[in-house]
Amino acid sequence: MAKVVIVSLRFNPAFIQFLIAYAKAVRALGHEASFLLDPEYRRFSELEITAPVFGIPDRRGQSWSHALLLNPSVYNRELAGSLKRSGTKILYVFHEPWQMSLNHLRTEGFVDTVRAIIAHWATVPVLKLADTVILASQNGLNVYDNADVRLNRNTACIPLIMDDEASAEVIENLDRKRRFGFIGALCRSHGFDQYVAFMRDEFCRSGDFQFLIASRNPLPKPILKDPILRRYWDRIEVRCGRPLDNEEMNRCYSECFCVWNLYHRSTQSAVLPKAFMFGAPVIASRIGAFPEYVEHGVNGRFADAGDLAGIRSALVEMRENLGSYAVNCRQTFLNTFYYESQLPAIARLIQ
């Protein structure tokens, strides 16, 4: 029996679902699972319910056969080196492989580009130390092969796995799905500015769509002061400016008949599988991993973020045929992103 520790040393509430899914997968395979986490995660009781939780000071005297590192942290290098010397195999989930370009600078802005450079600088030593680097899509593997494969040629492809937190009620209560949602980081690379532009255009046209914005980021001040948005504020559900617990995030997804995935850059959207879990089709860009997982007219639709008329047409079609879209989304989730569907791949990693 393997002893697997699942590690996240930089707090990010979005990663809780991945932590839990990997722990449940490890246990389903008959192995022992535990967490090694940033102290901020302590407030989320669902982690301790799933597996024992350790902090860095608590790891003395602990030994593991495998360590699964889930997100970038300046502390990963020291930890990976220490574990490697003790004989632990290092599995590193490389969520966003390096793809610096002028387009990255345009979509992220200078400050976020600098942050990305720092994050990659901190990741390089961990890539070198890892026994296996895990990418979340074929697109991610391709990006990795073009940039960082020289650091480590041992790779595997496993989608961003999650536990199934929804149920058949999602399909049975589609009348609750009334909003077009933007969920996640309010940044240019995710096209938030164009989502706002669509909202303004919809209100100016006297359309009937309702909106939802959910993010740990605060709403930018220009949005709060925009006279058109303020006039129709009762049609925008806003849950922003704080880390949302998993239950509240699930409510957001369950209220959406469509979720925005018209990103400018992504090798794998964490919003995508969660939307599918709750029977919400997505409107997506033909970039990154979206063409791997989104089937046009089946579990979502592709569009251009600047084509407001095309977005409107796609939303109308998905809302009118939400029953079939919701069933297809749930099936995509269960076949691809549900952790039980990836148990054979995870078993191969541990073996």
Q: What is the pLDDT of residue 103?
A: 59
Q: Where are the domains positioned within the chain? A: 3-158, 169-336
Question: How many beta carbons lie within 10 A of that of residue 11, not counting itself?
Answer: 17
Which CATH code for domain 3-158? 3.40.50.2000
Report, in this order, helix, strand and coil percent for the chain, each rounded to 5.
50, 15, 30
DSSP string, 304-315: -TT-HHHHHHHH
Q: What is the pTM of this model?
A: 0.91
- Mean pLDDT, 10 residues at a time, the chain of 351 residues: 95 90 98 96 91 88 93 89 95 81 58 67 88 94 89 95 85 88 91 96 94 95 93 96 87 96 85 96 95 97 95 97 96 97 96 84
Q: Evaluate whether 3-158 and 169-336 have a shared fold.
A: yes
Q: What is the pLDDT of residue 234?
A: 95
Domain over 169-336 is classified CATH 3.30.70.120: no
Q: What is the pLDDT of residue 148?
A: 87
Q: What is the pLDDT of residue 116?
A: 67
Q: What is the pLDDT of residue 118?
A: 67
Tokens for 57, please give them: 């000071």
CA distance 330 to 166: 9
Tokens for 242, please give them: 């704080």
Q: Confirm if 338 and 164 have CB atoms less than 8 A apart.
A: yes
Q: What is the pLDDT of residue 349?
A: 93
Q: Confirm if 39 and 182 have CB atoms less than 8 A apart.
A: no
Helices within the chain (DSSP H only): 16-28, 45-50, 76-85, 102-129, 138-147, 169-172, 192-204, 221-225, 227-231, 246-254, 271-277, 290-293, 308-320, 322-332, 343-350
228 Cβ contact partners less than 8 Å away, ≥ 6 residues apart: 200, 203, 204
Tokens for 210, please give them: 């309702």
